[in-house]
């Protein structure tokens, strides 16, 4: 094995580790509401770049977001569609499913099933997520919950 091959294999292993951490965040921490595992996988000074985030900064804010989601959608779950790693970042394309059973962003429970597609980008350093960017179809989610009418269905 050449030095170049060894380096490529090392990078592959490292990228696999980053992908595993990203999957664990989505499936075990968020879907499973495992806030103790969040302490292991998310840095205390974690930076959230989510434009809809109404919580505190850092790990505390992340935990509040997980609680907010589970209060509103107790059966919240991700399906991971694609995972790509490059450098210290992991991009995950996924679909979220749940049943609206509690207040969410000022919307009273509807009992409706939701399906929301999106992307998460995690920056991971020393085995912990230090930054996150998330882009999801929020308009589609609000339409599914009846908070925003479908285009062309508004009444004068």
Q: What is the mean pLDDT of each run of 10 residues along the chain (156 residues)?
A: 42 81 96 96 90 71 91 96 97 98 95 97 96 93 91 66
How high is the pLDDT of residue 149? 83
How high is the pLDDT of residue 58? 86
pTM of the model: 0.84
Question: Exposed e or buried b for every residue in 49-77, given b needs 16+ CB within 10 A?
Answer: ebeebebeeebebbbebbebbbebbeebe
Structural domain boundaries of the chain? 3-144
CATH of region 3-144: 3.10.450.50
Q: Which two tokens stand for residue 22?
A: 């990203």
At 156 the three-state DSSP class reads: coil
> Tell me: the pLDDT tens digits for 5-20?
434 444 445 999 999 9
How high is the pLDDT of residue 13? 56
């Amino acid at each position: 094995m050449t030095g170049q091959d060894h380096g490529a294999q090392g990078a592959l292993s490292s990228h696999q580790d980053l992908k595993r951490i990203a999957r664990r965040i989505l499936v075990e921490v968020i879907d499973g509401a495992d806030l103790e595992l969040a302490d292991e996988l998310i840095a205390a000074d974690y930076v959230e770049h989510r434009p809809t985030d109404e919580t505190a900064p850092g790990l505390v804010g992340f935990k509040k977001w997980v609680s907010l989601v589970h209060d509103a959608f107790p059966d919240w779950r991700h399906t991971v569609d694609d995972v790509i790693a490059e450098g210290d970042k992991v991009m995950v394309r996924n679909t979220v499913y749940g049943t609206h059973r509690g207040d969410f962003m000022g919307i009273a429970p509807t009992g409706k099933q939701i399906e929301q597609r999106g992307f998460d980008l995690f920056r991971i350093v020393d085995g912990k997520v230090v930054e996150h960017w998330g882009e999801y179809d929020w308009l589609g989610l609000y339409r599914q919950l009846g908070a925003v009418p479908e285009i062309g269905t508004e009444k004068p």
